[in-house]
Amino acid sequence: MQVRAVRSDELDRLKDVRLRALRDDPGAFGSRYEDEAGRDPSLWLRWVTGGSTFVAEDGAWHGLVAVYLDGDDASLCHLGAMWVDPRQRGRGLGHRLLDAGIGWAREAGATSIRLGVVDGNAAASRAYRGAGFEPTGEREPLRSDPTKSVVFMARPLD
C-alpha cells in the first residue's frame, strides 16, 4: 500500500473517501456528511491546491489526511481530516499518513504543526502522541456536535 498526494484530477475520488470517513466516524470530525455531500465541486480543489491531501491506496483509497499552512502564520501548518478505513486499522497506515503530512509541512517551511482531536478519541490521541504531538491546553466545542470538545495538539518540526 502506498501513501501519496491527491492530484487535482482526482476530486471525485477525494470526495468519495471523505464522505466515507464522515459516514464511518461522524462524531470524529467538525464537518457533517450532509454539509460536505452537497459541497460545490470547486471547493474540493482547495484540498489539493491550498495545501495537500494524502491518501493510502492499493488501487482503492483506504485513508486520508489533509494539511495546509495557516493563513496568518506560514510557520504554522494545520493537519486535519485524518481517517483510516476501519478494515485497514492496526496496519500502520495512520502513521504513514501522519508522516506524509508532517513531511509536507516541513517542505512547505512550517516550524510547527497543529491538529484537533475529539476529546475521548483515545486511539487517535495515542497515534498523535506517538507522532510527537502534545496537548496545547486549548479546547473548543466540536462544530458538528457542540456537546463534544476538540482538544488541540501540536508539535515542533525540527
Kindly state whether residue 143 falls inside one of the protein's structural domains.
Answer: no
Q: pLDDT tens for the chain, 158 residues: list them.
A: 999 999 999 999 999 999 999 999 998 999 999 989 988 888 899 999 989 999 999 999 999 999 999 999 999 999 999 999 999 999 999 999 999 999 999 999 999 999 999 999 999 999 999 999 999 999 999 999 999 999 999 999 97
**Is 83 within 8 Å of 63 (Cβ atoms)?**
yes
Number of domains into which the chain is organized: 1
Instruction: Work out the number of other CB atoms within 10 angstroms of the CB of residue 26.
Output: 14
Domain residues for the domain of 51 are: 2-111
Kindly state whether residue 100 falls inside one of the protein's structural domains.
Answer: yes
Kindly state whether residue 74 falls inside one of the protein's structural domains.
Answer: yes
Rounded CA gap, 57 and 70, in Å?
27
